[in-house]
Amino acid sequence: MTPTVQTVKPDHILHELSELWVSLGKQEPDKDADSGVLRACAMTLIAFVDDDADSMALNDTIGRIMRSHPSRAVIVRLRESPGVLESRVFAQCWMPVGHHRQICCEQVELSVSLNRVGDIPSIVSPLTAPDVPRVVWFRSSGIASVPELGGIIALGDKMIVDTAHAGAPTFADLRVLANAGYIVGDLAWTRLSKLRQLIAQLLSGRDLSGIHNISIEFSGSEAVPEAKYLQAWLRSEIQSAMVDLRRVDPTGKARLKAIRVDPDIQIQVEANCAEYQTGSLRQWANLPECSEGDLLSEELNIMAHDRIFERVLQRMTAWTPQA
């Protein structure tokens, strides 16, 4: 007997979505004009995640994003076992504090075997919400190596990865995509925004061309992508400066430790904060560790080419640590 091949019909999912809204509306009868459910959709977020991904953490991230970027979310769970292709439809709803109307975003979850990833573009494409941006987020370690990657990338107007994660696309992959005109984002770069802003603030008003030496210190056996990005950014924007990466604690946890700008600026990076000194002024700045949802949210704010990031990508080179 030939085994039954599982199929998913986009029209069926769209019908389920439509019924979902009808049922949500019935749960909240419109007794007064201000109650009921508010449907919100500002984009389509297509997320590729590993099947064993921590569901609670993923839900936290999606929930966080839905509040800042209400979206139709299409979550594609990639499974090792062959032949699987399933779908389900549900809504994420929340009641904003002090309000009396629920806000709901729709979510489609597809479970797909890696050997059937080729079916994904034809299923997901009709599911994208019309007239709003589409973002593809790679949270899966396996996705970068599938042969159908090109069709998947083409589903979105922007692609977001996190090069700090094992198995993620590399800087070189991102550079190729950026050079081909794709809008790309990397959460490893996004993690640097607050620190970069602090550096920019501290160097504000200075003649940047007069800066000749900057060192970036890190711990761990290899520089984290953030350290490499910081180096590339400073090299790109202050071309007069030698920007060195220095390993100061090879056995410590891999992270950024400090930035020193000659002659008189030092920034010590700690968990959730930075202590900095400019001349005689010693200060403390809040640098809270960003959740995955915060980082993603920042990237979703930028739906155009990020020229600074693209410039930095071009500067990302093979790295050799200083002794």
Q: Interface residues with other proteins (CB under 8 A)?
A: 33-34, 38, 40, 42, 66-70, 96, 98-99, 101, 103, 193-194, 196-205, 208-209, 237-240, 273, 276, 278-281, 283-287, 297-298, 302, 306, 308
| Residue nearer to other proteins on the CB measure, 87 or 102 | 102
In the complex, what is the shortest distance from the CB of residue 253 to other proteins, in angstroms, rounded to a whole number?
Answer: 21
| Residue nearer to other proteins on the CB measure, 98 or 150 | 98
In the complex, what is the shortest distance from the CB of residue 55 to other proteins, in angstroms, rounded to a whole number?
Answer: 22
In the complex, what is the shortest distance from the CB of residue 65 to other proteins, in angstroms, rounded to a whole number?
Answer: 9
In the complex, what is the shortest distance from the CB of residue 300 to other proteins, in angstroms, rounded to a whole number?
Answer: 11
| Residue nearer to other proteins on the CB measure, 113 or 278 | 278
Count of CB atoms situated within 10 Å of the CB of 262: 13
| Spatial distance between the Cα atoms of 79 and 113, rounded to a whole number of angstroms | 5
In the complex, what is the shortest distance from the CB of residue 213 to other proteins, in angstroms, rounded to a whole number?
Answer: 15
| Residue nearer to other proteins on the CB measure, 13 or 287 | 287
| Residue nearer to other proteins on the CB measure, 5 or 281 | 281
| Residue nearer to other proteins on the CB measure, 161 or 312 | 312
